[in-house]
Structures are given as C-alpha cells and as structure tokens.
Amino acid sequence: MTILLLGSGGREHALAWKMLQSEKCSQLFVAPGNAGTNEIATNVALNPLDFEAVKHFTLENKIDMVVVGPEDPLVHGIYDFFQNDAQISHIPVIGPSKVGAQLEGSKEFAKQFLVKNNIPTARYESFTKDTVEQGCEFLTTLDAPYVLKADGLAAGKGVLILNDLVEAQQELRNMLVDAKFGDASSKVVIEEFLDGIELSCFVLTDGKSYKILPTAKDYKRIGEGDTGLNTGGMGAVSPVPFADAVFMEKVETRIVKPTIEGLQKDNIDYKGFVFIGLINVKGEPMVIEYNVRMGDPETEVVMPRVKSDLVELFQAVGKQELAQATLEIDERACTTVIVASGGYPEDYEKGKVITGIENATDSIVFHAGTKNDGDSVLTSGGRVLAVSSYGATFPEALEKSYASIAKIQFAKMYFRKDIGKDLKTL
C-alpha cells in the first residue's frame, strides 16, 4: 500500500516508524514531515489544510490510505472532504468526520456529549458575550480554583485555572468581551475543578468496535516538579502505574464504551483515534477532555508498545472490521523525554545544529521540530526531539532515555530531568 501521513511532529515520526514495520506499507509519504520522517519515508511539501492540494497529490501518487496526525485538518473536515468527492471517496481516511472532530474542536460540544451519555466529568455551564454577567455570578457558586475554557481550538492555551474569584471574573470578561482567544473564546465553558492525577487513554475505533491502546502519562509543564508554563508535553511514560486492572475496568465500562455507543447513537462517523484525557479522582476516572488524534509525546511511548501491525489495524478501521482484529501489547515499559529549544514555550531560537543522534543507539530518537540542511539536522521548533526507550520497568527505561540524551548536543538544549519521578514503581 501507498500511504500518506499528514503532520510534522514527534507523533508523526512515531506513527511513520510504526507503519513502516508493516509489510503492507510499500511506500510512505509524510506531509510536511521533519528531518526524522525524511530519513525513513518521503517528505512532501504539502499543507495538510489545503485539501485540494492533498487530493491532487493523492490521485497523482495513487495513495491507498490517508492517516491524519494532528487535529486541525480533522476539525476542518478532511474526512468529509474525501467522502464527498467521488474521485477519492474510496480512499480510507484515518480520523473522524467533521462532526466527530467537534469532540476536540468545541469544549461545549464535548461537555454536552459527556453529560448526554452519563460519562463522569466535571460539572459545568457555558456562557457567551450576552451572558457574561451570569457567568460571573456562576463563578461565585464554585469553590476555587476556577477553570475557564475557551470553547474552540486555541493551540492548547485556551484553558485558564485561577485561584482568585475577582481575577477569574476579569478573565471571563477578557475572553468573552475582549476576545482574548479570538473566535475560540466567543463561548467559554466554566467548570468545577477536579483534584487528582491526570493520564491519557487512547482508543482506536472504527465507529462500531474499539481497541484500547496502552495508557500514558504526559508531563505538561516546562519546569521540574510540574512548574512554569504549559507546553505541548515534555515527556511521557507508559504504562501508567496507577492505571491498574481495576481502574481500567472502570475506564472501559464508564467512559470508553459509552463514548463509542454515544457516537453510534448520534450517527457520528468516527474511524480513528480517540484520546481521552482522564483524571484519577480518588480512584474514580473522570473525563477532562477529548482529543480526536493521538497525543504528542504520548505517541512516542504508545506506538513502541504496540506489537500488532498498525497498517492492518488501520485497514480494519477503514473496513469497519476492527472487532475481528487483535491488538497485542509489548509488556515492557516505554518512556520518552523531550529535548526542547532553550526558551520554549516562549521565544526561542531555531537553526541550531544537532549532533550525536547516531550515538543514542539504546533509544529510539523521534524527531519533532527538526529540518535538514544539506547533511546537517537543524532545530526548527520548540520541541526538537523525543528520546524514547524501553525497559523492564519505567525507571530503567528513563535511565536509558537520559543516557541517550547525554550523547546528543545542540546549543541551548533543555529537557526536564524529573520525568516519571512522581510515580511509584509497581
């Protein structure tokens, strides 16, 4: 098969790496890709949001399957674009329909879906410019901290957690009246604060049946001890030690099953990944958010633990035959540590020469923000590399990731040294 993968991050390098292990994948294009995908596949200078260009490329290169990495093309309806065009409607697109992608594209849509399907989540109300005063009033009925969420996509920055009531009311006005996050905050969801440890649960579904992939825990803050600004994620471990069989049984019966059944009840076409952001509140799983794609850097620990043929699984998703497929998981733990550009997630410099990747032979070095320049590999983003390793336990895997990072150099590189340190080893 000839496959086109859309995206350019560490997630896409990990998906590409995994798909290329399949005998069914004879050729892989990545659009636009990075220096890592360039080494193992063929990068194409295509904008994943330019659907006409994607169609043209697909026809020209006889693409048999399109796999969508990031949420943007999905929220903009790439699945429906293919479905509604007779020339390309036969090509499976791995990812949900535009309506399905609203689970990530609109916080309010997601909350309504959760409540309608009796899935445990934080109590909430949503407000617009016209109801801003009611929103300020609603905040007085909640205890601190206050959680304000811009309804639309805001590049991971649309959630504010504030300790002070007056400040929360002011921020609500900034979001609704002064459009702090543009259109994304024309509606704001205010919800009850949930106290617990977060984890990510990944599900692959064909809309009828589902497979639960390994769990992972992501480290979102830039600073050690989970301090400082939010990032896309600075490291991840899989499996999550506290997500034991008892906890996962609750996740499956209370959250995963009702999610897939809810999609069916609403006739929502969904053939792709569901990333369920969970929080463990005293042993009870609750949903913080849905995403309609894999997580990054979670993919860099989840994909190495999937033993089954990913292309076969995607084919089964396309044909809605996932129920007959098997999912085999590697028993080993996997960890990843992100190496970032100094300054990220604020301003940082690009174009630094990266050396030593070839010496990190005990790990899999997935590229995130990198590009080629002749024979050199240069930094070209905030998150630059995801250094993933296996181990019998996650502390052993982490030791390998850190030993590998010690062999890699670029100017002003930064990484957190405390990934996984908060977790008990089982």
With CB under 6 A as the contact rule, the residue among 277, 342, 356, 395 that binds ligand AMP is 277
SS3 285: strand
Distances in Å between the Cα of 164 and the Cα atoms of 136, 140, 144, 175 are: 12, 11, 7, 16
| Residue 207 binding result from ligand AMP, ligand GLY, none, given CB thresholds of 5 to 8 Å by partner type | none
CB of 172 to ligand AMP, least distance (A): 15
SS3 96: strand
- Mask: binding to ligand GLY, 296-315, rule CB under 6 A, as x and -? x-x-----------------
Query: Closer CB to ligand AMP, residue 149 or residue 187?
Result: 149
* Residue 406, burial from CB neighbour count under 10 angstroms (0-12, 13-18, 19+): exposed
Where in 209-248 is the site for ligand GLY (CB under 6 A)?
A: 218, 232-233
Would you tell me how many other CB atoms lie within 10 Å of the CB of residue 232?
A: 22
Does 104 interact with ligand GLY (rule: CB under 6 A)? Answer: no
Tell me how far apart the alpha carbons of residues 296 and 7 are, in angstroms, rounded to a whole number: 12
Query: Closer CB to ligand AMP, residue 197 or residue 327?
Result: 197
Do residues 346 and 229 make contact, with C-beta atoms less than 8 angstroms apart?
A: yes
With CB under 6 A as the contact rule, the residue among 216, 288, 313, 325 that binds ligand AMP is 288
| Residue 16 binding result from ligand AMP, ligand GLY, none, given CB thresholds of 5 to 8 Å by partner type | none
Residue 321 sits at the vertex; the CA angle it makes with 319 and 326, to the nearest 5 degrees, is 130
Phi/psi at 183 (5° precision): -60, -30
Report the DSSP beta bridge partners of residue 400: none
Do residues 377 and 354 make contact, with C-beta atoms less than 8 angstroms apart?
A: yes
CB of 68 to ligand GLY, least distance (A): 14
Tell me how far apart the alpha carbons of residues 170 and 227 are, in angstroms, rounded to a whole number: 24
CB of 293 to ligand GLY, least distance (A): 8
Query: Closer CB to ligand GLY, residue 292 or residue 313?
Result: 292
| Residue 318 binding result from ligand AMP, ligand GLY, none, given CB thresholds of 5 to 8 Å by partner type | none
Where in 180-209 is the site for ligand AMP (CB under 6 A)?
A: 191, 193-194, 198
Residue with structure tokens 């080893």?
A: 425
**Interface ranges with ligand GLY (CB under 6 A):** 218, 232-233, 291, 295-296, 298
